[in-house]
Structure formats: structure tokens, C-alpha cells
Amino acid sequence: MRRVEDYREYFPIVDEKIFLNHAATSPLPLPTLNAMKDVLDKRRYAMYKIDVSSIFDKARELVAKFINCSSGEIAFLQNTSQALNIVANGLRLNLNNTIVTDDIEFPSVSYPWLNRGDVEVKFVKNSDGMIPLNRLLDEVDLNTRVIAISHVIYSSGYRFDLKRLRKLIGNKIILCIDAIQSLGAIPIDVRDIGIDVLASAAYKWLLGPIGISILYINRRLFEEIKPTIVGWFSSRNIEEASFNPLEIKYATDARRYMSGNISPIPLIGLLKSLEFIMEIGINNIAESIRKITTHLIDRLSEFKNIRIYTPREWSMRAGIISFKIIDKNDEKIVEKLAEKNIIVSHRMFGIRVSPHFYNTIDEIDKFVKELEKHI
């Protein structure tokens, strides 16, 4: 069996940079890059050379296995925002229904509900980047229809305990999760946790391409979430000879939320990245990320003028560590680090570091050594 560190060779970027910015965009592993190039090369000879239907079916089956649902509950869209808009715009709501989210959400989570204009959106106030469950529950009442949150907050790195949240709210409230900062970094079992809707693009922790996202909708919600963007692919029968332009009969599975052709290039990219992750093992990946980020927290804790916003406890975080250097310009420090080929981000709570499984303790130490010059 190969060790986790053996897969480092599939990321050529390690020869050029210390890349600690997977919460933004991840580099493609070579198997994914090569598979996408192969599809693009075949495209020169026309689409009939590419069995898109087979790739689509395989990708749905693999995603379903990865998050523990049925393949018929998976649709593919262009990005997380599009996926969450489909849910927000299609869900049947009463006038007195409310949506609960938090005040440091990524816009893709809150904007679709605000844009409806016919439902009250309640924002739970954060506490230094964390959203205590008791504070969230204070906003939940009999009118709450949806809790719409990120599994991991993009700016602070705080991870919600979704399984505990589900137990506390019961089964009537829809749990709608943006998993873009957790899927591919930690295990997610939608059945075990009790997630009703999950959306995630592929280009962060899943190590996939831009231009494709996963949308999981629990089958029991199909009649409550009406398709709002429709086309031939949404219909029950997609054989061209059987099209009926006079009547819409939706597909019996999540394909009803897809309107038309999906590009085979990002689709094969997602498929190969998932195969890559599942070969390594998501538990192995999570453990590697845990070790690397714990070492980072330990090193940052050596400095009195650094405030760490991400919780130390592993169950409350994933791959993001956010911190602020007191009385320093974090944004300029990020720029200075980039000049030394050390890539991190600047976000709401200061400097955001997000290593993946293939990063090393040595890279973290080099990052801290360079950071120390600016403290």
C-alpha cells in the first residue's frame, strides 16, 4: 500500500512553490490534468469520439459512493452558486417561513435566499469567527424552513458539528450545506449526518477543475424543490426521437435540475480527481491535514502577537487556519510571502493558510520562518 506522502509526486507545483492555498483554488493532480487533456484532444475529431453519457453515469456513481447517497440524487452544475440558487429559487415556501444562516457566510449561501425577496432571512451573529450552536438555535422556531450554512466557514475555518445540529433541530427543517471547504478534506456521509441538500464545486479540496459542481438533493425533496432552469436534459426521456415539446415530464431523479449538455472536460476532471482521492482514502487525507494544521497552530502559538481565530480542536475545523498578526498589515505580508513563492490568502480574519494532504511539516516550518521576518 502506498503512503500518503508518495502521492506528492503528482503535484508538479511542489517543485516551484510552497502552495498553502487550497481553500482558494487547488492545483490539479497529474491524473486529472492528463485525463482532461485527453478529452480535449479527442474533441478535435468531434464529440462522437467522447462517451459523455458513460462519463456522466460513472461520475454520479462515484460521487454517490463518496458521500453515501444514491446516484439518482446527484446533479452536476457549473458552480456552487448555481447549485444553491436552484434550491433557493425552487423550494416551495409559505409566507411565514424563515431561513436561518450566519453573518460571515460566503455570498453563495446567503444571496440566493435574500434574492427571493419573499422570505425572512435571519443572520446569526458570529463570535470571533465561530457560530455557537446555541446561538444558532436561538433563531430557530416553528417557522424555520431551512438552515443554510457552510460546513466550514471560508474565512475563519470554523467547522459546524452538523450531526449534532441535526439532532437538535429534528427532521422537519431542511439542512442546506455549502460543502466547498470540507468535501475532499474530511469525510462526509450525508445519510449519517442528516444533510438534505449539499453543494460543492470541484476546484478546492476535491482537487478538480473549475466549471463543475456537485448538487445532492435528498429524493424526498424532489416534489418540494421545483426545477427552475429546464431543458431537454430535465425531461424523463432524453432520447431525441421521444421528445415531446408540448408537455414537461421531469426526470424521476436529480437530472431534473439539469437543463442541457455538460462539458465533458470538467466532468472527466471531477471523475479522475474523485478516483484519485478515493485511492488515497479520505480518512488518510483528513489525518494528514489534521497533522499538518495542528503543527501549524503549534508553531503560530509561539508568537505572542499572533491571534489564531480557527479553533484548535480538530472536530471544530478542517483544512483552514486563519490568524491575524497584531498591528501588522496582513495583506502586505501575504504579498511578501508570494514573492518568496509561498502562497496563502488574505481574508476577513487575516491570513488564511490552507494546506492539503500532500503538503509537509517542512513546508509549514519554512512558511513560519519566512513569516517571522514580518512579525
Q: What is the pLDDT of residues 36-90, one digit of tens each?
A: 999 888 777 665 566 888 999 999 999 999 999 999 999 999 999 999 999 999 9
Q: Measure the CA–CA gap between 29 and 39, rounded to whole angstroms.
A: 16
Q: How many CA atoms lie within 13 A of 336 on its CB side?
A: 15
What integer pLDDT is reported at residue 168 of this predicted model? 97
Comparison of pLDDT for 245 and 253, the residue scoring more: 253
Q: State residue 60 phi and psi, 5-degree precision.
A: -65, -40
What integer pLDDT is reported at residue 1 of this predicted model? 60
pLDDT exceeds 90 at position 132: yes
Q: Tell me the mean pLDDT in the region 249-275.
A: 95
pLDDT exceeds 70 at position 155: yes
pLDDT exceeds 70 at position 285: yes
Q: Measure the CA–CA gap between 32 and 10, rounded to whole angstroms.
A: 10
CATH hierarchy code of domain 4-20+281-372: 3.90.1150.10
Comparison of pLDDT for 238 and 333, the residue scoring more: 333
Q: Tell me the mean pLDDT in the region 6-35.
A: 97
pLDDT exceeds 90 at position 346: yes
Q: From residue 251, how far is each of 51, 55, 219, 255 by CA, in Å?
A: 21, 19, 12, 6
For the CA atoms of 109, 113, 115, 118, the dihedral, rounded to the nearest 10 degrees, stands at: -170
What integer pLDDT is reported at residue 258 of this predicted model? 96
Among residues 76, 93, 111, which one has the least CA distance to residue 216? 76
In the chain, CATH 3.40.640.10 covers 32-279
Contact, 145 vs 174, CB < 8 A? yes
- The topology under which CATH files domain 32-279 is Aspartate Aminotransferase; domain 2 (3.40.640)
Among residues 155, 154, 151, which one has the least CA distance to residue 187? 151
Q: Tell me the mean pLDDT in the region 4-24.
A: 95
In the chain, CATH 3.90.1150.10 covers 4-20+281-372
Q: Measure the CA–CA gap between 227 and 71, rounded to whole angstroms.
A: 18
What integer pLDDT is reported at residue 240 of this predicted model? 65
Q: pTM for the whole thing?
A: 0.95
Q: What is the mean pLDDT of the chain?
A: 95
Q: From residue 136, how far is each of 131, 176, 193 by CA, in Å?
A: 7, 14, 18
